[in-house]
Amino acid sequence: MKKHNKWLLRKVSGSRGKYTYKPDYSDFRNQKNKSGDSLPYRESMHKNRWTWLDTSLVKRWLYQQVGQNFDLVYANFLKRIQPKYLAQYRDCIFFYVKKAHEVQLEEKGELTFSRRYKFFINPVNNCLERYPEQKRKSNLFRKLESTLGNFYYSYKKEKWELNTSEPDFYITDKHLEVDSNFIQKIEKLYTQKAKIETHAEEAIHQFAHLIQRPEIIQSRKDLLAIHFTNPKNHLAFSAFFETSVYNEKLWKIDFYQMEVLEVKRVCN
Position 256 scores a pLDDT of: 92
Position 133 scores a pLDDT of: 66
CB of 11 closer than 8 Å to CB of 54: yes
Exposed, middle or buried: residue 32 (CB in 10 Å: 0-12, 13-18, 19+)? exposed
Q: Are strands 159-162 and 143-146 parallel, antiparallel or unpaired?
A: unpaired
Q: Which residues contact 243 (CB under 8 A, 6 or more apart)?
A: 204, 216, 219, 220, 221, 222, 249, 251
CB of 136 closer than 8 Å to CB of 143: no
Interatomic CA distance for residues 169 and 226, integer angstroms: 5
Q: Are strands 97-98 and 119-121 parallel, antiparallel or unpaired?
A: parallel
Position 159 scores a pLDDT of: 87
C-beta contacts of 23-27 below 8 A and 24+ residues apart: 23/48, 23/50
Position 197 scores a pLDDT of: 92
Q: Which of these, 128, 133, 131, lies nearest to 66 by C-alpha position? A: 128
Position 249 scores a pLDDT of: 83
Per-residue confidence in pLDDT tens, the chain, 268 aa: 444 458 888 877 654 454 444 444 454 555 555 555 544 445 444 455 556 788 888 988 999 999 999 999 999 999 999 888 888 888 999 999 999 888 876 544 456 666 678 899 988 899 999 887 655 555 556 888 888 888 888 877 788 888 776 778 889 988 878 888 898 888 888 888 899 999 999 999 999 999 898 999 999 898 988 999 888 888 899 999 988 887 778 999 999 988 999 999 886 5
Sign of torsion, CA 163 167 172 175? negative
Write the Ramachandran bin of 184: left for phi over 0, alpha for psi from -120 to 50, otherwise beta: alpha
